[in-house]
């Protein structure tokens, strides 16, 4: 059987699978219904501050498996639902970041830098349109690369990046984030250091939990939801409430942001944004193809590189990045959305999750059975049908359908969400805080998680107050465990060589770049002062 035969079998598996119901005698596949349902749920949780796609996927997965069972026919409906959630949450996540300055996910933090200033200038609906167009464009490009390159691209990356190189790449990522996003290299390094300190509490391979001070609560470590939601959302709520209090004391009332001017996205706007979308789409796709890196780094790189090009070309009247530039929103959204397709490259080819959402796709495959992500998935057989390859092309078809929903339903949703900016923030922010704490409790189901979240919120509030960006903290917390695991494995694989980061030319180049980024950025900041 050839490639086109498998493609057609994958399409048939989606459209002609078990029937959910019929319309005018035409049977509607249960997989199509699940993709649409997952997409709508993903938009809802993505647009709700405190919730995110992985949380919805974690709650939905056991319910889906208990509903559909463990037969091979359950694979595509269950995984189609998860893909729909992933796609919908990617688009919906920009809504709270732009309208309320409360990012629902770490990568959406970069969207707040220009999206919220656009809202304050009365351009909320235009910012939402820019975010939607950029997000879906990047996602579509990433899916095309996935369809074309999945069988060999991840294997090519894996052949060049061994354990020492992966460890050095993670260190380079943290150095880059600290230098560029932290406000200054010193503040960025402080933020990264705090993130690594937090993630190493209660973890490791020792029999006695590290840094737990003998308390059972700390011995389990900090759940990732408490740290990320606390440092990003709760701290933003605290800071916004303080700003409202200061505004009320100064002027005696709280002004609502009025929306004015042309809110449409014209062809001239698209032509101006296209280079930033294209560049960030390539960056996000490349980052997504790397195992274990994720969309947060892609959003940061896309925004930083876009800012460098924008500063060379902007006019005298154009706003800077961070002051409401549509190019900043486009650079971020295209980068973080283009990860969603490419992160299935290491999932399908190597069985390694590219981000948190991909973890649940692997869990679904392992729980149901009949699909084992890895090199064997792309084994083309001439005489017999490879069922795993049919499922893979069925997943590709599901992603294409979700993209169509993104271009249509997603656009209508994003345009309609602009009315939420009329809700007074003094009423909205407590609701956001309540939803965030509810999301944490649903995921962890213990009061200690609530206290951890509030504690991280206070820490993030003080960081924001002194000009330290919380994003390096979040990235360090996400990558810290992977960094330690990779370093331990590299140390063991090299026979206990303490210089494993410097004996390999690629790893050495990454380490030199890590130092160079810090030094050059600090020197440039000193010259600017």
Structural domain boundaries of the chain? 3-254+263-528
Half-sphere exposure of 227 (CA within 13 A, CB side): 23
* CA–CA distance, 94 with 132 (Å, rounded to integer): 8
CB 100 within 8 Å of CB 127 = no
What was the pLDDT predicted at 359?
59
**Better-predicted residue by pLDDT, 400 or 264:** 400
**What is the pTM assigned to this prediction?**
0.69
What was the pLDDT predicted at 205?
59
Whether 312 shows a pLDDT value over 70: the answer reads yes
**Better-predicted residue by pLDDT, 104 or 43:** 43
What residues contact residue 327 under an 8 Å CB cut-off, 6+ apart?
Answer: 114, 272, 273, 276, 306, 310, 321
Q: How confident is the model at residue 459 (pLDDT cuts 50, 70, 90)?
A: very high
Q: How many residues does the chain have?
A: 529
Q: How confident is the model at residue 456 (pLDDT cuts 50, 70, 90)?
A: very high
Tally of CB atoms within 10 A around 250? 8
What was the pLDDT predicted at 462?
92
Could you give phi then psi for residue 29, rounded to 5 degrees?
-65, 145
CB 255 within 8 Å of CB 237 = no
CB 374 within 8 Å of CB 350 = yes
CA-CA-CA-CA dihedral for 19, 20, 21, 25, to nearest 10: -20
CA-CA-CA-CA dihedral for 170, 88, 282, 266, to nearest 10: -140
Q: If DSSP states are collapsed to H, E and C, what string results for 91-138?
A: HHCHHHHHHHCCCCCHHHHHHHHHHHHHHHCCCHHHHHHHHHHHHHHH
Across the chain, mean pLDDT equals: 78
**Better-predicted residue by pLDDT, 67 or 381:** 67
Percent of the chain with pLDDT strictly greater than 90: 2
What was the pLDDT predicted at 51?
61
């Amino acid at each position: 059987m050839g490639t086109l035969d498998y493609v057609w079998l994958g399409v048939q598996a989606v459209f002609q699978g078990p029937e959910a119901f019929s319309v005018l005698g035409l049977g509607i596949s249960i997989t199509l219904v699940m993709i649409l349902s997952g997409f709508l749920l993903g938009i809802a949780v993505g647009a709700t501050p405190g919730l995110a796609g992985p949380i919805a996927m974690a709650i939905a997965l056991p319910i889906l498996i208990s509903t559909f069972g463990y037969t091979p026919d359950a694979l595509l409906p269950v995984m189609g639902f998860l893909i729909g959630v992933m796609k919908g949450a990617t688009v919906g996540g920009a809504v709270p970041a732009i309208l309320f300055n409360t990012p629902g996910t770490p990568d959406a933090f970069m969207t707040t830098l220009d999206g919220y200033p656009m809202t304050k200038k009365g351009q909320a609906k235009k910012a939402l349109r820019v975010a939607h167009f950029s997000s879906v464009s990047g996602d579509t490009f990433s899916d095309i690369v996935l369809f074309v390159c999945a069988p060999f691209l991840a294997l090519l990356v894996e052949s060049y990046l061994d354990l020492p190189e992966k460890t050095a790449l993670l260190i380079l990522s943290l150095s880059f984030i600290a230098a560029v996003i932290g406000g200054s290299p010193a503040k960025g390094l402080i933020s990264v250091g705090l993130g690594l300190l937090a993630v190493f509490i209660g973890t490791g391979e020792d029999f006695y939990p590290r840094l737990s001070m003998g308390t059972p609560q700390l011995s389990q470590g900090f759940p990732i939801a408490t740290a990320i939601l606390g440092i990003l959302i709760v701290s933003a709520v605290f800071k916004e409430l303080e700003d409202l209090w200061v505004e009320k004391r100064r002027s005696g009332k709280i002004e609502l942001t009025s929306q004015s001017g042309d809110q449409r996205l014209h062809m001239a706007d698209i032509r101006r944004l296209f280079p930033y979308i294209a560049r960030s789409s390539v960056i996000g796709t490349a980052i997504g193809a790397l195992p274990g890196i994720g969309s947060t780094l892609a959003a940061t790189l896309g925004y930083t590189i876009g800012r460098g090009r924008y500063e060379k070309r902007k006019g005298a009247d154009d706003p800077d990045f961070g002051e409401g530039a549509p190019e900043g929103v486009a650079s971020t959204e295209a980068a973080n959305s283009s990860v969603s397709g490419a992160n299935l490259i290491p999932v399908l080819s190597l069985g390694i999750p590219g981000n948190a959402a991909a973890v649940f796709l692997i869990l679904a495959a392992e729980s149901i059975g009949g699909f084992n992500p890895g090199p064997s998935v792309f084994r083309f057989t001439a005489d017999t049908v490879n069922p795993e390859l049919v499922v893979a092309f069925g997943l590709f078809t599901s992603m294409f359908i979700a993209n169509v929903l993104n271009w249509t339903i997603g656009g209508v949703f994003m345009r309609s969400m602009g009315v939420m900016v009329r809700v007074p923030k003094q009423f909205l922010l407590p609701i956001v805080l309540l939803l965030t704490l509810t999301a944490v409790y649903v995921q962890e189901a213990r009061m200690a998680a609530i206290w951890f979240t509030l504690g991280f919120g206070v820490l993030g509030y003080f960081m924001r107050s002194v000009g330290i960006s919380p994003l390096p903290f979040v990235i360090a917390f996400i990558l810290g465990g992977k960094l330690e695991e990779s370093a331990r494995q590299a140390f063991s694989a090299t026979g206990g060589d303490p210089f494993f980061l410097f004996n390999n030319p690629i790893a050495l180049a990454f380490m030199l770049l890590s130092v160079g980024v810090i030094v050059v950025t600090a020197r440039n900041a000193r010259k600017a002062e």
